[in-house]
A = this chain, B = another copy of it.
């Protein structure tokens, strides 16, 4: 157990008058224990308590280190593991619940544990995770550096006659050869009008002259996630409108990044980037939030959106990814990861954002 992180979480729980919590999110458990376990449909639960009686419930199928720094309760598929879990919950006291705890475990815990109330408390874990420590910053720099190198290699795959699927199929090996452990998410590869689709999966679309080529890609290294988007043109920029769209998105990205420092409201960052796009008449074509927090997960808790009035804090890492999408025609998105520093920000991606026409 990382005790500094655990104490931060327990203090935040105490501020909410909660003294015990079930953490089930494998990434939150990774954050605290240093060990990632994907339990599939099986129970994985870390019970933490202000009195120090922490326990982790792990099916015998999963190999874990002898010393996780917390008492382990192992069980088999046929054991009554929910009774084991309910047995350690303090009756008559409130119980913090992981936001991801699934109904198949939560409804029995509500029925059988005797806790006085059940309160979503992941915010305490999420707020801790949103402020990266030095070890985490180093890992985010390292994985983003790999992503920069990978983007250069992906650019090299853009050529006459290629399909989205063919490019996507080569990305895993490129990441691995650069030292990454794998994807942080399934790559988005889009050509032309497909770039305008929100979550388009690479298909058999063949690249055509004048298409935009959008790569929204990331790798994972030492448990931390990269995430970057660049949009290229193939052979030519087909019209002034598409050039204008590219330049607007770039300007929105750079406008947002230029204002980042501790204390700036995240909704104001979103507003500034959105304003650039709205002023040119493309407001309705920027259909998503400006960014999301990232770390052990591609989408850590927290976003850069009109709804988030929280301020940036030193140690935050999030994406800045404005986009303009014209249905059936074209889409451009430009995304970096940024780290808030004591007096500004460090942009973790250095891959060029110049308009780039691939011959």
Contacts and interface: CB of A to CB of B under 8 A. Distances in A.
A62 B287 contact: no
A306 B107 contact: no
Contact of A63 (B104, B169, B197, B306): B197
A40 interface: yes
Given A61-B199, A198-B62, A176 B169 contact: yes
A303 B199 CA distance: 34
A200 to B, nearest CB: 7
B62 A199 contact: yes
A303 B76 CA distance: 14
A99 B60 CA distance: 22
Contacts of A122: 104
A120 interface: yes
Count copies of this chain in the complex: 2
A168 to B, nearest CB: 10
Contacts of A198: 60-63
Contacts of A61: 198-199, 287-288
Nearest to A301: B41
Given A77-B303, A106-B106, 13 more contacts: A60-B198, A61-B287, A62-B199, A77-B288, A78-B307, A97-B103, A98-B103, A99-B102, A99-B103, A100-B102, A107-B118, A169-B172, A172-B172
Interface of A: 40-41, 60-63, 77-78, 97-104, 106-107, 118-120, 122, 169, 172-173, 176, 197-200, 287-289, 299, 303, 305-307
16 contacts: A41-B299, A60-B198, A61-B198, A63-B197, A63-B198, A63-B199, A63-B200, A78-B307, A97-B107, A99-B103, A100-B103, A102-B103, A103-B106, A106-B106, A107-B119, A172-B172
